[in-house]
Amino acid sequence: MAPILALGVPIMDTMLAVVRRLLVSASIMAPDRDHIHHRLIALGLSHRRAVLVLYAACLLLNAAAILTLRSATRDTALIAVAVALGTFLGVRKLRYHELPLPGFALIGPHALLALADAVCLVVAYAAAVYALHGGTLPPDANLDVARAATVAGVLELTVLLLSDVYRDAPATSGTRRWRVLGVALVAGAVTASVGLLATRAAAYQDPATVALDVVLAAALLALMRGAAHARRWMMRNPEIAIMTVPSRVHVVEIDSGQDAA
């Protein structure tokens, strides 16, 4: 895994080029101007900034490669999950028209909502573990629970990103949006369970923990969206949102026989 991470940028550039050309039935040896550095410049970056972005990506990937050599198996799993999610978001930002990736804005309200959801998902899993196994946890189990909650939260958020939850311009709203969110949460919980068991990061994983995790995550995400909806409603109705505070009134008497400037 370490050499793959160390050479992550050129490997990803080559893989993207091959996949893109296969999707449009073009020769994989045909040159084009859609490599990663070309896409960065097309997004508005200067040559210097595009190079700096690639330098930063190489630096982060090489740091991850070094960490995989010095960390335990479960920590390596965390690094792999984080790199996979970062790669997905980065490729999505490059806006390749050949790749039908779900719409998601890296900046703006969608990104803030996704970040808030990530925190809620991590908290929900940790709360589920402590609620069901709090009395039997050893004193030094906090780190294992935090590690497992992070893996579960990242995997569940990945499923949400791959669904229609964070579309750039949602075509529908109301009941369908909540139904999509519910299905994505269940699928995310199942994916998290498989990922936890596969990466040996599972801490007190059982069906009851999965079920309670889904319930708590749904409650927190619904609360988050309810707060966002209330904020938007208050912004559309400023006369209700703004509280009037009594202030002093200064009365100025003006002599009617003189001109007032």
The ranges assigned to domains in the chain are 1-101, 102-243
227 pLDDT exceeds 50?
Answer: yes
| Contacts of 109-116 spanning 24+ positions with Cβ under 8 A | 109/228, 110/166, 110/168, 113/166, 113/224, 113/225, 113/228, 114/157, 114/160, 114/161, 114/166, 116/224
Q: How far apart are CA 216 and CA 219, in angstroms?
A: 5
pLDDT at 158 exceeding the cut of 60: yes
Which residue in 127, 120, 205, 180 sits closest to 154, CA to CA? 120
The pair of structure tokens assigned to 109 is 């309200």
Provide the whole-model pTM. Answer: 0.58
CB 74 within 8 A of CB 200: yes
Alpha-carbon distance of 14 to 174, in angstroms, equals 42
Is the pLDDT at 51 greater than 90, yes or no? yes
Provide the mean pLDDT of the chain.
78
105 confidence band (pLDDT: 50, 70, 90): very low
* Residue 69: per-residue pLDDT: 84
Whether residue 145 contacts residue 126, with contact meaning beta carbons closer than 8 Å, is answered with: yes
